[in-house]
Amino acid sequence: MAIICIVLVALTLRPAIVSVGPLLPGIIEDFGLSHTQASLLTAIPTLLMGLMALPTPWLARRFGRDAVILGALVVLFAATGLRAVAGSIGVLFLTTVGIGAGIAVAGALLAGFVKGGYPKHAALLMSLYATALALGSTIAAAATGPITTAAASWRLGASFWMLPVIIAIAAWFYIRRQGTADGRGATAAISYPMPVRIPTAWLIALFFACNNIIFYAFISWTAPMYVEFGRSTTCAGLILAGFTLAFMISNPLFGVLSRNEDRRVALAVSSAIALLGTLTLALDPDAMPMVSVPLIAFGTGGAFTLALTLPLDNTENAEQANAWNAFVLLFSYVIAAAGPLLMGYLRDLTGGFNLPLWLMVGVSVVMLGTTPLLKPSHHRRHVAD
């Protein structure tokens, strides 16, 4: 039941972000936003996934991990609903902050839940978690466009994603009621500092940041980019769904194949696939999007699962995993917020998506270059010292 509840929560942690892509043309028209301003609808949640990682371990110690996750889901539900009825730019962005905060807190604590309850199966369960995230993304990407078209309004397409959050709230209410002293319901009092003096932690954060820059940039701009190329909203949404579907397929695949704690080969393979995809798309974005776009997602999907597991590989218990996870999320998501923002800004600056796509190629190169350095034994030497 706990595993089912993890999946139900994970399914809700991306639709409010992913659905923005198909909704952007309508939102831009309604509020008169520039591409740079519109990119904030994805950049703000991504930024908050980093910033909220800082106080989240304290909140878990103070109020209990499962109670905080439950509260975060309630905030996500309320903000998603209020965004759909926003009447001004200020309310639109304020509700976006609420969405980002809810997603950030719940996502940051689920890794500690896995580490505390299932330490011997962390890689498998994190791949399952990542797959559920991607499944929620795929459903949102594929369904938002048709819902919006049928309703002739972006607002119904936005409010629809309140429904799965209700189920997630019920699921985690069950987890909280069933909580026991083994870490499933209560959080230990021991506090671990963030690993700011451990080089491996910085390298993991850098790798994860590059991967998330690519992911959130394409989540934000794939659908609007292909609408600009002349595709229909539904067709552009299906191209985005191809991205999230490939991401979902690669999540468990790399999780299952990577059985050793030294995951550098798998990390390099996934990064190389992402680089091949970004390079193919940058050379001719309109030639074969149903190949190049999913290729990017397949690489970043595998890298995402592995990157989620890296902090767990370097820690000994749930509280320490929360500290490492908070550090990695803080650093990586704050930087990753620049992905959609830079793509939107460069689109406004140059009048096209050519330069933004080559920027993603450069980020892919950095991500691949980091992989030989991600050896978990670095941390163990520091612990021994």
Intra-chain end-to-end CA distance of the chain, in Å:
40
**pLDDT digits over 165-188, tens only?**
999 999 999 888 876 433 444 444
pTM of the predicted protein model: 0.75
Nearest to 12 by CA among 164, 216, 238: 164
pLDDT of residue 126: 74
Tell me the pLDDT band of 190, cut-offs 50, 70 and 90. Answer: low
CA distance 111 to 114: 5
Query: What sign does the dihedral 269-275-278-282 (CA atoms) show?
Result: negative
- Residues sharing a CB contact under 8 Å with residue 214, sequence separation 6 or more, in sequence order: 274, 278, 296, 300, 339, 360, 363, 364, 367
Integer-rounded Cα Rg, in Å, for the chain is: 19
Return the number of other C-beta atoms located less than 10 Å from residue 373's C-beta. Answer: 16
Measured distance CA(35)–CA(215) in Å, rounded:
18
Q: What is the mean predicted confidence (pLDDT) over 134-160?
A: 86
CB 347, CB 37: distance < 8 Å:
no
Query: For residue 19, what is the domain's CATH number?
Result: 1.20.1250.20
- The H-assigned helical ranges of 229-263 are 233-257
Examine residue 192 and state whether it is found in any structural domain, yes or no. no
Among 357, 4, 20, 316, CA closest to 167 = 4
Beta strands in the chain (DSSP E): none
Span 286-328, pLDDT tens digits: 888 999 999 999 999 889 888 878 887 777 776 777 778 778 8
How many Å apart are CA 174 and CA 115, to the nearest integer? 19
Distance from C-alpha of 180 to C-alpha of 123, rounded to nearest angstrom = 23
Q: How far apart are CA 80 and CA 231, in angstroms?
A: 28
Percent of residues, the chain, with pLDDT higher than 70: 91
The whole domain housing 218 covers 2-187+197-384
8 Å CB contact between 64 and 187: yes
Query: Coil, strand, or helix at residue 102?
Result: helix
Bigger pLDDT: 246 vs 127: 246
Q: How confident is residue 115, by pLDDT bands cut at 50, 70 and 90?
A: low
Q: What is the pLDDT of residue 379?
A: 44
Is the pLDDT confidence value at 363 over 90?
yes
Higher pLDDT, 122 or 360: 360
| Structure-block tokens of residue 165 | 């959050």
- Number of domains making up the chain: 1
Residue 95 and residue 82 in contact, taking contact as beta carbons nearer than 8 Å: yes
Q: How far apart are CA 153 and CA 121, in angstroms?
A: 44
Q: What is the pLDDT of residues 349-360, one digit of tens each?
A: 998 889 999 999
Please say whether the dihedral angle defined by the alpha carbons of residues 342, 347, 350 and 356, taken in this order, is positive or negative: positive
Q: What is the mean pLDDT of residues 189-211?
A: 84
What are the structure tokens assigned to 197, written together?
């003096």
Please report whether residue 339 resides in a domain.
Answer: yes
